[in-house]
Amino acid sequence: MAGNSVRAHIDLRDPAWRAVAGPRTVLLASPRSFCAGVDRAIDTVEELLRRRGAPVYVRKQIVHNVHVVGELESRGAVFVDDLAEVPAGSTLVFSAHGVSPAVRDAAAERGLEVVDATCPLVTKVHAEARRFAARGDTVILIGHAGHEEVEGTLGEAPQRTLLVQSAAEVATLDVPDPSRVSYLTQTTLAVDETAEVIAALRERFPQLRGPASEDICYATTNRQDALRVIAEEADLVLVVGSSNSSNSVRLIELARRCGTPAERIDDAGELRPQWLEGARVVGLTAGASAPPRLVDAVIDTLGALGPVRVAQRETAHETIRFTLPSVTRH
């Protein structure tokens, strides 16, 4: 995805910036930035714009990033919160976070042609929710209330699913049959915190069953592993990502749990001189929905303060790609 790199203007005549001028090392976490599900979702909207022209309607933000959304908007994507805003007969893209069956039904009722950009790894969690509920279990979904992915997953079996947000909440769960309980998780949670919640669930429900493979996805896990490595070496960690991006916010929290000061920025324009006081080694990463060019712009901007040595810490190599929805391929 092209677009403005949002390089911040740093004026060294400003004493606050002058005070933090000097050489720095930037430790780049790898993997960082776009995951396969985000690439697929953005490519889907871009391909529809190319093939069909504007407008292309998208339910909610295609991914949780202000720059991605702003750029697609400037090219003719129209993001809506409510299906009633979409003219009958139009094409509607479902965002990468997925939707509940009720939303699918509402789209069908309005006669909309749906192009589903839900990440296949979110779809996998939906399938598990249906399977666990169908075998008669109470499904405990570990996740954050109000998040679009959670609302979609909860909607698969709303009568049988309970949301739990922390280990402390496990004690408050009211379950009809404690011997028939399964858990699922949101895909973008902190791996360490989620393990605590699962341990609390297992303690309370010894017959607890879970998914065959982790619901926290490969991209979330890899970005957290890479973050831990740079947080150990850095004086400050910067995470590029938007405030409503769950996986980006988890990276900030994890850096802080590692004992390293950390700040989230939407772009280089949000850098603040006070964060850089005494920060000679800056760890830099980006959430799965943040474009790589925004990371480059942060490095450029730090370069305005003095020479920057960039070193990468790679903890995994990602090659996974997802096929685009068929309507954008034929």
Active site residues: 149
Question: Taking the complex as a whole, how short is the minimal distance between the CB of residue 63 and ligand SF4, in angstroms?
Answer: 7
Q: Is the separation of the CB atoms in 194 and 142 below 8 Å?
A: yes
Residues 181-220 that bind ligand SF4 (CB under 6 A): 187-188, 217, 219-220
Dihedral over alpha carbons 9, 67, 119, 229 (to 10 degrees) = 10
Can residue 285 be called a binding residue for ligand 10E (CB under 6 A)?
Answer: no
Asked if 118 touches ligand SF4 (CB under 6 A), the answer is: no
Q: What are phi and psi of 268, to 5 degrees?
A: -60, -25
How is residue 1 annotated by DSSP?
Answer: -
Would the CA dihedral through 254, 25, 303, 295 be positive or negative?
A: negative
Total number of residues shown for the chain:
330
Segment (H or E) for 183: strand 181-185
From 122, 239, 276, 297, residue interacting with ligand SF4 (rule: CB under 6 A):
122
Q: Does 295 bind ligand 10E (CB under 6 A)?
A: no
Catalogue the E-assigned strands of 10-165: 24-30, 56-59, 77-80, 91-94, 113-116, 138-142, 161-164
Residues 155-174 that bind ligand 10E (CB under 6 A): none
208 binds ligand 10E (CB under 6 A): no
Classify residue 136 as exposed, middle or buried by CB count within 10 Å of its CB (0-12, 13-18, 19+).
exposed
Question: Whose Cβ is closer to ligand 10E: residue 62's or residue 302's?
Answer: 62
Backbone angles phi, psi at 162, to 5 degrees: -120, 140
Judged by CB under 6 A, which stretch of 73-81, 106-114, 134-142, 246-254 contacts ligand 10E? 246-254
Shortest gap between Cβ of 288 and ligand 10E (angstroms)? 4
Of the candidates 166, 318, 124, the one whose C-alpha atom is nearest the C-alpha of residue 253 is 166
Q: Decide whether 143 or 210 has the Cβ nearer to ligand 10E.
A: 143
Q: Is 149 near ligand 10E (CB under 6 A)?
A: yes
Q: How is residue 179 written in tokens?
A: 């011997």
The answer to whether 163 and 154 have CB atoms below 8 angstroms apart is yes
In a 13 Å sphere around the CA of 325, the CA atoms on its Cβ side amount to: 22
Nearest distance from C-beta of residue 38 to ligand SF4, angstroms: 5
Q: How far apart are CA 272 and CA 292, in angstroms?
A: 20
Report 94-123 residues binding ligand 10E (CB under 6 A): 96-97, 119, 122
Site for ligand SF4 in 235-254 (CB under 6 A): 247
Say how many residues touch ligand 10E, by CB under 6 A. Answer: 18
Of 276 and 288, the one with the shorter C-beta distance to ligand SF4 is: 288
Taking the least distance from each CB to ligand SF4, the nearer of 25 and 187 is: 187
Nearer to ligand 10E, 24 or 126 (CB): 126
- Residues lying near ligand 10E in the complex (CB under 6 A) are found at 37-38, 63-64, 96-97, 119, 122, 149, 187-188, 245-248, 287-289
- Residues lying near ligand SF4 in the complex (CB under 6 A) are found at 35-38, 96, 119, 121-122, 187-188, 217, 219-220, 247, 288
